[in-house]
A and B are shown apart, each in its own frame.
Chain A
């Protein structure tokens, strides 16, 4: 099957030490004429400097409105193998943990029904299967779902939640990111599979402010683990860091953003009421310093990429909330947030954009969260502020 096309430009990208995606496509093309036509079309793109994919076209599986993204070549006569080349999003496991046995099963089914190409993983988090036909979709869904694997989200829907490695392999995680993500994915199955929102809604959960899942930049709801109370200090380990050559004053004390630490060559002290829990000292002295004992999360809302009025980072809405199974308070809050957005947004408006237009007040009132200084960097500068009837009753 393979070798139908000469690909001198792509062949250049098989040279060099970094793993080559071209080699991967060629490996798939040994078994799949779809992958071979993908290779042929891609070589043409490299020559002409443009893509040849058509957008959309509604395809999917019975009873779902998402999880499959229709993709068609705009050159179907030239590359018949990719006339249809749809994406199937398989909902990944929390923290992207797999066993060889599970992954081989996923590969066996995909080789039978698709191109043999994958993305491990897509930007939102799904295990992405790249390239199949409309005809095969029901069979693919039956094969995977009967083995316990479901489709992820697409379109104007709850998108597949994702998270960092959390308590699975990290000493800093203040919340059970893996379990929260699993629980929220199960809670919102209907919203995930049947798009009924104004636009997409993403949830990402990070165990601490290091934020290895980019929750603060890429999720409409960013759940970020944090703590209350004092950072736990092991002075003996502090001494070992000093003995092993760390310049504690230069690397830790002077880089603390709140200047709440001191070190006299013997004892490390932290004025915890001034600490903003940024994670620098803990990350650099992980044997000596650990987060405080009262664990919880900060909830932030609104981040997104630039389309269409500019990038947003998430804004603090709930400074601290306990998040423990079965997560009833968290689930209720999320439903309330989505309800306000759903009632307020125009089509294709993300929650962050609506918040910018409407202001935080109606949102905070709807979800029942009081105004707090933690929600802003500074109070307003201009004297143009609104009053509601409720403000006069005091």
Chain B
């Protein structure tokens, strides 16, 4: 069958074709919203019109079969209008209030997870992992599934002092907002990569490979038409592997994940913050990474117990001090916690006023 005629540089279709009439009518004229339950909210316009949103979790990897099922439900309850959130939740945009409860009932009957709105854990921003990425040193989807099975009630019903944003990155490239999340997992390598000197000259451009190293640990090795790596300088980022695959960064028995905490994006109350290291390493334990899951739950519950209302994880930690964060969570402080990279000197304590370890 002949293919239709291709077009180039047309860009995406304009958004206004996909928004329901209630949005078209009240575009930019919303007055307020109310959270009705863990997974439903209503937006009220200046005109008095109302738009109900029902939010469900998604594993981000969706089959066309599931997308069609979601589409069918949106046709049944909200004239086919739906959207996705920046955290990969699905949102049904319902104009008719009488259809909200039946939609929620059908979603629950079909085992969809309704939740993620308000001071709760929303969906986990995450990366491809072993499912589809060349540089992954863990599986992001599997970690997310294991973590969220355990924290499930914090998505659907239970409230926290404020929202808690989780993320999982399957390597330090961090194709997600791991570096500014309340609690996040980042997979790390811990060993200097192994160089295949036979393949490097055939596959790699030496100057690009040398230039790829952020710590200048890579030098040309003219004898082998390859490169050498200064082991003292390498911090295992894997950037060289991306430009030169024969430099193999994978060491399955020594790769694993770290947990970072206290980041945020919004400017509410305090400035946006980077996440900082809480636990430097866990071995990969597929399929359910039980130690990682337990560690995250511990941090979340210590936060829930100790933080003031509206405090994000990072704000709570800054109020009590990092030394007390380690006290309360029982997490061991190690050499890895002391920064020795780009911004190190700004993190050393310059005052004798601090709290003791208990």
List chain A positions with a Cβ less than 8 A from chain B: 9-10, 12-13, 15-22, 24-25, 27-28, 30, 35, 38, 42, 45-46, 48-56, 63-64, 71, 85, 87, 91-104, 106-107, 110-111, 116-121, 123, 130-131, 138-139, 141-143, 145-150, 162, 164-165, 167-171, 173, 176, 178-179, 182, 185-186, 189-190, 193, 209-214, 216-218, 250-251, 255-257, 276-280, 283-284, 286-287, 305-311, 313, 346-348
For B274, the closest partner residue in chain A by CB is A311
For B270, the closest partner residue in chain A by CB is A257
With A19-B58, A149-B13 known as contacts, the answer to whether A141 contacts B6 (CB < 8 A) is yes
Most interface-central of A49, A171, A176, A251 (chain B CB within 10 A): A49
With A13-B146, A165-B83, A306-B179 known as contacts, the answer to whether A279 contacts B267 (CB < 8 A) is yes
Q: Tell me whether A63 and B8 are in contact (CB under 8 A).
A: yes
Name the B residues within 8 Å of A348 (CB-CB): 211-212
Q: Tell me whether A100 and B15 are in contact (CB under 8 A).
A: no
CA distance A71 to B253 in the complex (A): 25
Most interface-central of A38, A95, A131, A346 (chain B CB within 10 A): A95
Name the A residues within 8 Å of B284 (CB-CB): 49
With A13-B287, A20-B145, A306-B174 known as contacts, the answer to whether A211 contacts B14 (CB < 8 A) is no
Pull 15 A–B residue pairs with CB atoms less than 8 Å apart, ordered by A. A13-B288, A18-B144, A38-B131, A51-B135, A51-B137, A98-B83, A99-B80, A100-B75, A117-B63, A121-B88, A146-B6, A150-B10, A211-B266, A211-B272, A311-B174
Q: Tell me whether A18 and B145 are in contact (CB under 8 A).
A: yes
Q: Tell me whether B61 and A21 are in contact (CB under 8 A).
A: yes
CA distance A173 to B86 in the complex (A): 16
For B339, the closest partner residue in chain A by CB is A310
CA distance A193 to B10 in the complex (A): 11
Give the interface size bracket for B toward A.
Answer: 35 or more
Name the B residues within 8 Å of A190 (CB-CB): 9
Distance from B336 Cβ to chain A, minimum over Cβ atoms (Å): 15
Which of B24-32, B221-229, B298-306, B348-356 forms part of the interface with chain A? B24-32
Distance from B15 Cβ to chain A, minimum over Cβ atoms (Å): 4
Distance from B222 Cβ to chain A, minimum over Cβ atoms (Å): 22
Name the A residues within 8 Å of B135 (CB-CB): 51, 55
Contact for A13 among B17, B145, B250, CB less than 8 A: B145
Contact for B139 among A45, A141, A168, A256, CB less than 8 A: A45
CA distance A85 to B130 in the complex (A): 13
Contact for A217 among B28, B61, B84, B265, CB less than 8 A: B265
Chain B contact residues, majority secondary structure: loop
Name the B residues within 8 Å of A38 (CB-CB): 131
For A210, the closest partner residue in chain B by CB is B266
Name the A residues within 8 Å of B341 (CB-CB): 310
Tell me whether B132 is interfacial, beta carbon within 8 Å: yes
With A100-B75, A257-B269 known as contacts, the answer to whether A49 contacts B253 (CB < 8 A) is yes
Contact for A99 among B51, B81, B111, B310, CB less than 8 A: B81
CA distance A87 to B134 in the complex (A): 13
Given contacts A16-B145, A21-B61, A308-B239, 13 further A-B contacts (CB under 8 A): A21-B144, A22-B145, A50-B255, A97-B19, A103-B70, A104-B67, A121-B88, A123-B176, A147-B4, A169-B23, A169-B43, A276-B267, A311-B179
CA distance A109 to B41 in the complex (A): 34
For B53, the closest partner residue in chain A by CB is A169
Name the A residues within 8 Å of B178 (CB-CB): 305
With A46-B287, A107-B68, A310-B341 known as contacts, the answer to whether A189 contacts B82 (CB < 8 A) is no
Tell me whether B62 is interfacial, beta carbon within 8 Å: yes
For B186, the closest partner residue in chain A by CB is A306
Q: Tell me whether A97 and B62 are in contact (CB under 8 A).
A: no
Q: Tell me whether B61 and A119 are in contact (CB under 8 A).
A: yes
Contact for B113 among A17, A214, A218, CB less than 8 A: A17
For A35, the closest partner residue in chain B by CB is B63
Distance from B36 Cβ to chain A, minimum over Cβ atoms (Å): 14
Contact for A346 among B136, B211, B245, CB less than 8 A: B211
Contact for B266 among A50, A104, A279, CB less than 8 A: A279
CA distance A107 to B60 in the complex (A): 15
Q: What 1/0 mask marks residues of chain B from 287 to 320 whose CB sits below 8 Å from any chain A CB?
A: 1100000000000000000000110000000000
Contact for A9 among B63, B129, B286, CB less than 8 A: B286
For A170, the closest partner residue in chain B by CB is B30
Distance from B142 Cβ to chain A, minimum over Cβ atoms (Å): 6
Q: Tell me whether A98 and B62 are in contact (CB under 8 A).
A: no
Q: Tell me whether B61 and A278 are in contact (CB under 8 A).
A: no
With A211-B266, A305-B174 known as contacts, the answer to whether A71 contacts B86 (CB < 8 A) is no
Q: Tell me whether B287 and A10 are in contact (CB under 8 A).
A: yes
CA distance A91 to B145 in the complex (A): 27
For A224, the closest partner residue in chain B by CB is B267
Distance from A361 Cβ to chain B, minimum over Cβ atoms (Å): 21
Name the B residues within 8 Å of A186 (CB-CB): 11
For B3, the closest partner residue in chain A by CB is A142
Q: Tell me whether B62 and A24 are in contact (CB under 8 A).
A: yes
Distance from A95 Cβ to chain B, minimum over Cβ atoms (Å): 6
With A16-B145, A55-B245 known as contacts, the answer to whether A50 contacts B268 (CB < 8 A) is no
Closest 3 CB pairs of A and B: A16-B149, A167-B28, A100-B80
Distance from A165 Cβ to chain B, minimum over Cβ atoms (Å): 7
Q: Tell me whether B53 and A100 are in contact (CB under 8 A).
A: no
Name the B residues within 8 Å of A93 (CB-CB): 12-15, 18
Q: Tell me whether B59 and A51 are in contact (CB under 8 A).
A: no
CA distance A112 to B4 in the complex (A): 15
Most interface-central of B19, B57, B112, B266 (chain A CB within 10 A): B266
Q: Tell me whether B15 and A95 are in contact (CB under 8 A).
A: yes
CA distance A286 to B34 in the complex (A): 9
Q: Tell me whether B86 and A213 are in contact (CB under 8 A).
A: yes
Q: Tell me whether B88 and A120 are in contact (CB under 8 A).
A: yes
For B174, the closest partner residue in chain A by CB is A305
Q: Tell me whether A19 and B130 are in contact (CB under 8 A).
A: no
**For chain B residues 314-349, which have a beta carbon within 8 Å of chain A?**
341-343
